[in-house]
Amino acid sequence: MMRYAIYYAPARDSLLHRLGSSWLGRDAYTGEKLKQPDIVGIKTITSEAAHYGLHATLKAPFSLGDGLHATALQEAVRTFSLVQSSVKVPNLLLTAENGFLALVPHKTQAPLYHLAENCVRNFDQYRAPLTSNEIVRRQNVGLTPQQNQHLLAFGYPYVLDEFKFHITLTNQLPTKKIDWLMSRAHQYFAPVIGLSVTIDCLSIFEEIESALPMTITKQFPLVLPQFAKAAS
């Protein structure tokens, strides 16, 4: 079953895209396999993250509801982008939270929360309800009551007050593995650590079937200038 997601993806010509895509071993724009850094086990360490491509989640992967087509979703994202401001994500840091290595902002500011919430709420009407198996699988990771409420309402637990902007770089790893990897990752990502990025485009990622990785199929620039009043 096809799935779609609405993500922030670094610009194709950016240093962040080049470094992050090489780290994962795959370019989400082209689907091309890339040479990864010379780190023992890097292919295994990044296998799940590479499936989704270099991104930060705004609307998590979902199947389309009955009777809906990709063109309707694309038109909705296009329309949304015309009334949404670009958002600055300040000072990227490398962190290891909940066993995942990720790039995160030094501070998540209100416009970023606003953009993420708007994406979750505006595009939820295109999402098919979760199956009972999907709900159980998510609940088995030990959700809080609030996260479980979000899961049932929006198909994903880490939204609204639970949202954290992050560019995932690894699978979930044991603490010992994360500690070993952190110094190597710091060295590799040194050119982008401390830099700020701007979300000035929304990307639709598509997964044709679960065995195939997600790729970028459409992108829509956010038209309003930064810090202008965003859509509600």
pTM (2 d.p.): 0.94
The CATH number given to whatever domain includes residue 25 is: 3.90.1140.10
Q: What is the pLDDT of residues 9-40, one digit of tens each?
A: 999 999 999 999 999 999 999 999 999 999 99
Residue 230 domain-assigned (yes or no):
no
Residue 228 domain-assigned (yes or no):
no
Residue 84 domain-assigned (yes or no):
yes
Residue 7 domain-assigned (yes or no):
yes
Q: Which amino acid is at 112?
A: L
Q: To 10 degrees, what angle do helices 70-81 and 110-123 make?
A: 150
Residue 232 domain-assigned (yes or no):
no
Residue 182 domain-assigned (yes or no):
yes
Low-confidence ranges of the chain (pLDDT < 70): 226-232
Structural domains counted in the chain: 1
Phi/psi at 37 (nearest 5 deg)? -60, 155
The residues facing 96 across adjacent strands are: 101
The residues facing 92 across adjacent strands are: 105
- Host domain of residue 129: 3-221
pLDDT, residue 162, reads 96
Residue 227 domain-assigned (yes or no):
no
Residue 229 domain-assigned (yes or no):
no
pLDDT, residue 227, reads 54
Alpha carbon 130 to chain centroid, angstroms: 19
pLDDT, residue 141, reads 83
